Amino acid sequence: MPTSARAKTAAPRTGGAELGNAPRASYGAQAGLARPGTPPAPRADGRPGRQTSIDTGPASTSPAKARKEKEQRKKKRAVAAEASRSEAKLLSIAPRSGPLSSPLKTLGKRLGPRLISALDKKGLRRMGDILFLLPRCYEDRRRLLTIAELEPGARGVTVGIVKVADFVPGKQGRRMFRAVVGDRSGSIAATYFNAGPWLKSRFTVGKRIVLSGEVRATMSGREMAHPEIEPAEDLDSAGSVHFNRIVPVYPGFERGEQRSFRELASRVGEQYAHELEDPLPPELRRRLELMPLPEALRFIHFPPDSADLEALDVHQSPAHRRLAFDELFFLQLGMALKRQGVKAELGIAFDVSPTRMDKARAALPFQLTGAQARVVEELARDMAREEPMNRLVQGDVGSGKTAVAMVAAMVALQAGYQVAVMAPTEILAEQHERNFRKVLGPLGFQVGLVSASGTAKAKRQVRDAVARGDIHLAVGTHALIQQDMSFDKLGLVVIDEQHRFGVLQRHSLMSKGPKPDVLVMTATPIPRTLAMTLYGDLDLSIIDQLPPGRTPINTRVFNDKQRARVYESIASELAKGHQAYVVYPLVEESEKLDLEDATRGVEKLRVAFPQAKVGLLHGRMKAEEKDAVMEDFREKRLDVLVCTTVVEVGVDVPNASVMVVEAAERFGLSQLHQLRGRVGRGAAASYCYLVASSARSWESTERLSVMEASSDGFVIAEKDLEIRGPGEFLGTRQSGLPELAVANLARDGDLLSMAQAEARRILARDPDMKSPEHQGLVKALEERWEGRLALARVG
Ligand code: ADP
Ligand code: MG
């Protein structure tokens, strides 16, 4: 069992001596909880705890402001609660063997065939599936309120007898269903708009039902709009699973089915929860004060009366946190195993003697910043080791990642190895080629561009030169990882703007040579939690300082009706000899979206600035055309560059000082931050204008104001993640990020750090996972990660 598990999870295969080596834990040390100065974890209300650069204004706490903040917090909590409620979330960690894997049918005939088939349709077939289907929310039925006690404006649960129920004409001629339910203390109406005829059968006059929903006061008395209802059959029987307790509400079942499912969950919980083996070593569980797994599941389905209802509802109870830890821990353990596997393979030990390092640094046209120098040291240490480097350099836009890559490249080149530099766009690849050539050419190194465009012959010539080793440093887009590319002696792979490539591509380039060192760089700051999940197998270096002499970018949001003011500013910058970008979200006119496209924008700007030279750049142009336009802009033959998001990443023209983003509400925050990063690269003051539709939503306005308030990419990325969720944030699927059922990456940063530290700690002590106390882990890893871990270890 253990052996097969290890084989599946990228166990070290070669070099017996390396097996004993504890994996280095530099990332863990940086990200761990214990490190002083670690930013506080996101707070339970979902707002990031770190507020370093968001200017929250004067710290006055006027009552009005406090009230507003309180309201906002409340709203946010409601949104978070809604988000965790919306989907059916099935933890996919139900055991594949043992009693919990037995089919539901074995529970006996009390499970009607209709229920069984309904469950089957939802993919719930085994005992374990029932236990691991988590309630979406809870209802407080510890003490039911009498109808008189229901308070307008609050949620409430009550029981009453149906007095009347029928369809009545509603507003605007629509049909409405209205029932009146009463008890000894009074009565309340239940109303439903656009309801089907089935409702009537749920409100049988004379029957007792449970009503649950938000109470409001109306002209004709109190009512609940669209309350959830349930038959109240065994209200008086002692020990009922439906009453006198906090009651779970499950996702994907209508209210009528809730009762049967609740009964089922209770039976499975009682009979089977104790059969669950807790995979976490007891020592770890005790130290982190985590609930045992069976207890956590029982708690989640049927919380004790003392439980905190609000925490339950937002999936933050101690039991939920135990399950969230589980999810994150096994993710991190898989990553750590994989990372250890890479480390155990043999790579190249480069010479990083002071002479060589000095030579490399001296070739740069400027002095490294403190942060760059520190990261270079970290890279040098990695490169000197025989294990392959596998490091992520994260640095905000304009922090100077290219220079760091250049030093690393020179270390490899001086040792007689080739370097591959991969960029996500042709424009960026071409820019890198030019910059690397400027620095490396004088030292006698050949730099070549492997392009997807150009004639077949030209392309073949470059490919051959790379294969022969005549080109020492090859820059390219994904063309670099095509099948027909081969290197003579590849020693270092640099991947710029890593977030633009999928996990698969990263590994495919790594497999080009005999284990080259790998340096990946990302400018879209990825929140720490996501970086740890996506790149948990990498060591992390952070460039947290900008080169000297930068003035902060002045960012303003304008309505599209205020465009004249934006144009004024462009005019005044152009008069000073600077240049401007104007970015549009679309290339061609779209009938559906009333957006000005880039082509029309060019015409408009030419009219507005008759003296200026205005150029157009968009994704549908041929690579040669793009290069030519970019070249014109760089050489100041163009004053204004109208473009789509092709300039989003990497483009570096320091003389440009204005960035205008049209239809800004259509862009994500991180994307806006990237675009803004195209200016502010020189010493001159720079401006970023976000022009948004005056008809935008309130949410868009709030979102855009984050850009005005902060210039810290990490703060912005965290906001972005919080607003859009990890899937959308990353444009996922390609990222290989697993679905998490309980854990929430925008919120559970503290758990994630803990999970990573623990995973690495276990492997440091027991790299082969041989010790008896770890056998539960091995088994669980195998069950949970089968398939999913395969994606994470395509290398
Ligand atoms: P990014 O991290 O966004 O890729 P770049 O590597 O493109 O940033 O660098 C941004 C700009 O800063 C470039 O014009 C580069 O030449 C300049 N730069 C980088 N490092 C330094 C430094 N240490 N001193 C001065 N300028 C620097
Ligand atoms: Mg860059």
Query: Ligand 1 mean position to 137 CA, how many Å?
Result: 50
Query: Ligand 2 mean position to 395 CA, how many Å?
Result: 9
- pLDDT over 90, % of the chain: 35
Q: Is the pLDDT of residue 44 over 50?
A: no
Element (H, E) at 750: helix 749-765
Please state the atom number of ligand 1 nearest to the C-alpha of residue 652.
7
Categorize the per-residue pLDDT at 221 as very low, low, confident or very high, splitting at 50, 70 and 90. confident
For ligand 1, say whether the CB of 402 is within 6 Å of any of its atoms. yes
Lowest mean pLDDT across 189-198, 252-261, 603-612, 653-662? 252-261
Categorize the per-residue pLDDT at 68 as very low, low, confident or very high, splitting at 50, 70 and 90. low
Query: Ligand 2 mean position to 61 CA, how many Å?
Result: 42
pLDDT at 621: 79
Query: Ligand 1 mean position to 581 CA, how many Å?
Result: 19
Other CB atoms closer than 10 Å to residue 237's CB: what's the count? Answer: 10
Q: Is the pLDDT of residue 234 over 80?
A: no
Q: What is the mean pLDDT of residues 133-154?
A: 89
pTM: 0.62
Average pLDDT, the chain: 79
Q: What is the mean pLDDT of residues 732-750?
A: 64
Query: Residue of the nearest CA to atom 27 in ligand 1?
Result: 547
Query: Residue of the nearest CA to atom 23 in ligand 1?
Result: 368
pLDDT at 690: 96
For ligand 1, say whether the CB of 395 is within 6 Å of any of its atoms. yes
Q: In what order do the strands lie in the sheet with 418-422?
A: 447-450, 473-476, 418-422, 490-495, 517-522, 390-395, 539-543
Q: Which residues pair with 176 in a beta bridge?
A: 168, 193
Please state the atom number of ligand 1 nearest to the C-alpha of residue 368.
23
Please state the atom number of ligand 1 nearest to the C-alpha of residue 369.
23
Q: Is the pLDDT of residue 371 over 60?
A: yes
* Contact residues for 233 (Cβ-Cβ < 8 A; gap 6+): 208
Q: Is the pLDDT of residue 527 over 90?
A: no
Cα atoms in the 13 Å half-sphere on the side-chain side of 329 = 26
Q: What is the mean pLDDT of residues 375-396?
A: 91
Distance between alpha carbon 454 and the CA centroid of its chain, in Å? Answer: 37
Pocket test for ligand 1, best of 361, 364, 366, 432 (most atoms within 8 A of CB): 366
Lowest mean pLDDT across 240-254, 289-303, 672-686? 240-254
Nearest alpha-carbon partner for 528 in 168, 30, 14: 30
Please state the atom number of ligand 1 nearest to the C-alpha of residue 372.
23
Query: Ligand 2 mean position to 405 CA, how many Å?
Result: 10
For ligand 1, say whether the CB of 547 is within 6 Å of any of its atoms. yes
pLDDT at 92: 53
pLDDT at 483: 67
For ligand 1, say whether the CB of 494 is within 6 Å of any of its atoms. no
- What are the tokens at 705? 């104001």
Q: Is the pLDDT of residue 753 over 70?
A: yes
Q: Is the pLDDT of residue 40 over 50?
A: no
For ligand 1, say whether the CB of 397 is within 6 Å of any of its atoms. yes
pLDDT at 370: 96
For ligand 1, say whether the CB of 681 is within 6 Å of any of its atoms. yes
pLDDT at 344: 67
Lowest mean pLDDT across 309-313, 317-321, 556-560, 583-587? 583-587
For ligand 1, say whether the CB of 403 is within 6 Å of any of its atoms. yes
Task: Give per-residue pLDDT as tens, 320-361.
Answer: 999 999 988 988 888 777 777 766 677 899 999 999 999 999
For ligand 1, say whether the CB of 652 is within 6 Å of any of its atoms. yes
Task: Give per-residue pLDDT as tens, 125-141.
Answer: 888 888 888 898 898 88
User: Which ligand is nearest to the Cα of residue 401, counting in written order?
Assistant: 1
Question: What's the CA gap between 643 and 619, in Å, rounded?
Answer: 9
Lowest mean pLDDT across 44-48, 489-493, 509-513? 44-48
- pLDDT over 70, % of the chain: 77
Task: Give per-residue pLDDT as tens, 465-501.
Answer: 999 999 999 999 878 877 678 899 999 999 987 665 5
Pocket test for ligand 1, best of 652, 676, 679 (most atoms within 8 A of CB): 652
What phi-psi label fits residue 133: left (phi over 0), alpha (psi between -120 and 50 degrees) or beta? beta
Q: Is the pLDDT of residue 13 over 50?
A: no
Query: Ligand 2 mean position to 493 CA, how many Å?
Result: 15
Query: Residue of the nearest CA to atom 21 in ligand 1?
Result: 547
Question: What's the CA gap between 400 and 317, in Å, rounded?
Answer: 43
